[in-house]
Amino acid sequence: MTNQALKLNKYSVGTGDRFAHQAKAQLQACIKALDAGIEVVPVWNKSNREHIIIGSEPSSARQAADAAIRALGWKLPYFCDADHITSQTVARFLDPCDFFTLDVADFIGQPAPAAEIDAFVKRHPELAGSIELAGADDPFEITPQILKQTAQKFLAAVKKAGEVYRIIEAKRGAGNFISEVSMDETDRAQSPVELLIILAAIADEGIPVQTIAPKFSGRFNKGVDYVGNVAQFESEMVLDVAAIRYAVRQYGLPENLKLSVHSGSDKFSIYPAIHSTMQRLNAGVHLKTAGTTWLEELIGLAEAGGDGLALAKEIYAQAFAHREELCAPYATVIDIDPARLPSPAEVSGWTSEQYTSALRHVPGAAAYNSSLRQLLHVGFKVAAKLGPHYLDLLNANETVIAKNVTENLFNRHIAPVFLGIPVKTARTADALMMEKA
Ligand SMILES: [Zn+2]
């Protein structure tokens, strides 16, 4: 598994661009990182679910990315990620994408044939016992029973990943795309021990995985901060990195294999932990965000006032009216308090400042409303239905929107994770960097 033509950089950021209008503004955030002395390469991710809701084709994401790269003269790598695809949905992504997130969460817990479980356990005597890992204080203690149970739980899912991987490989050729395996959209977090066993199975399947997205403990709700124990997250991440390093050496997985954090956007309180773990262990990370850019479009429209603000209010009113339908597909990853949702009548009287300060995720700000933010986060279907009316206003207000998109991605995500500048001071991250320079 050494023939990796296409290689993902140590630091990368996954950005979603629901309406394919902000690629340039997003790329600008990576350029700011480069100016600050760090290479963070962009990966434009879009899932099949997003394409279906919006009515778009994966080729449109590719065109938007290519156009942005040309316009801004970006010389480093960049990728288009077929996010959370399965064997059922991969087909239309094969041409335009060069990064594939093989989502096998639905197959976790499905039984694999007993003979395959036994063969796996026999093939991996090194996994049963006490395993010393560089970077971990205590060894992993894996009993034969734990090994077998873990194989029973994950082997079918990993086989499924192999199936999807081979569909892509047959079409694009080995080494011509990046593979990520994701297991985050499930109920229970995977432990570092489980991750190690999963990686052994992934190597057996011959998948040259470059990023792996486990489910971490704690809640990763859409568009709002992390809910959970940050110290526990950090110690788990440290052990995950140790497990990855061991698997790279032991099983010949790609050397640049790293964690992918499917953040659901805005996990500000774990960003310092991610940064310090990366620093301490000299590890890379792929930070995947998604809907945060779409919310910046709304913020930009609201900030613009006039027709833009009117449309932002209209979108809230419709999202409020259809909240049950909009929230249903995301039920496991949102926590909206209906009592905290302002009525559309109230919002219709808001100024630009009232709208943007309720929506903008400034931790600790009194006006910030996480319920409203989550509802709008999943409410992009409303804008999709507005079609040209929405897109025309995006174009008309491009400058103010682009400024919000770039600032948000750089100050609130890239700077804290990759440069170690806390989100608290996000509004002044630019100023801090100028001081540093
Ligand atoms: Zn995910």
Ligand 1 centroid, distance to 265 Cα (angstroms): 10
- Give how far the C-alpha of residue 309 lies from the chain's centroid of Cα atoms, to the nearest Å: 29
> 21, 15, 16: which is closest to 388 by C-alpha?
21
Ligand 1 centroid, distance to 263 Cα (angstroms): 7
Ligand 1 centroid, distance to 308 Cα (angstroms): 31
Low-confidence ranges of the chain (pLDDT < 70): 1-4, 424-437
Residues 300, 397 contacting (CB under 8 angstroms): yes
pLDDT in tens, 288-303: 998 899 999 999 999 9
Ligand 1 centroid, distance to 161 Cα (angstroms): 15
Q: How far is 297 from 243, CA to CA, in rounded Å?
A: 39
pLDDT at 426: 44
Ligand 1 centroid, distance to 266 Cα (angstroms): 14
pLDDT at 4: 56
Ligand 1 centroid, distance to 304 Cα (angstroms): 32
Ligand 1 centroid, distance to 81 Cα (angstroms): 12
pLDDT at 274: 97
Ligand 1 centroid, distance to 145 Cα (angstroms): 30
Ligand 1 centroid, distance to 433 Cα (angstroms): 31
pLDDT at 102: 98
Angle between helix 388-396 and 398-407 (nearest 10): 80
Q: Which residues of 205-227 are buried (b: 16+ CB within 10 A; e: fewer)?
A: bebbbbbbbbbbebbbbbbbbbe
Ligand 1 centroid, distance to 290 Cα (angstroms): 9
pLDDT at 437: 44
Q: How far is 351 from 38, CA to CA, in rounded Å?
A: 38
Ligand 1 centroid, distance to 374 Cα (angstroms): 16
Ligand 1 centroid, distance to 84 Cα (angstroms): 7
Ligand 1 centroid, distance to 184 Cα (angstroms): 5
pLDDT at 186: 87
pLDDT in tens, 229-285: 999 999 999 999 999 999 999 999 999 999 999 998 899 999 999 999 999 999 999
Residue 65 CB partners (closer than 8 Å, separation 6+): 23, 42, 44, 78, 80
Q: How far is 285 from 273, CA to CA, in rounded Å?
A: 12
Residues 120, 151 contacting (CB under 8 angstroms): yes
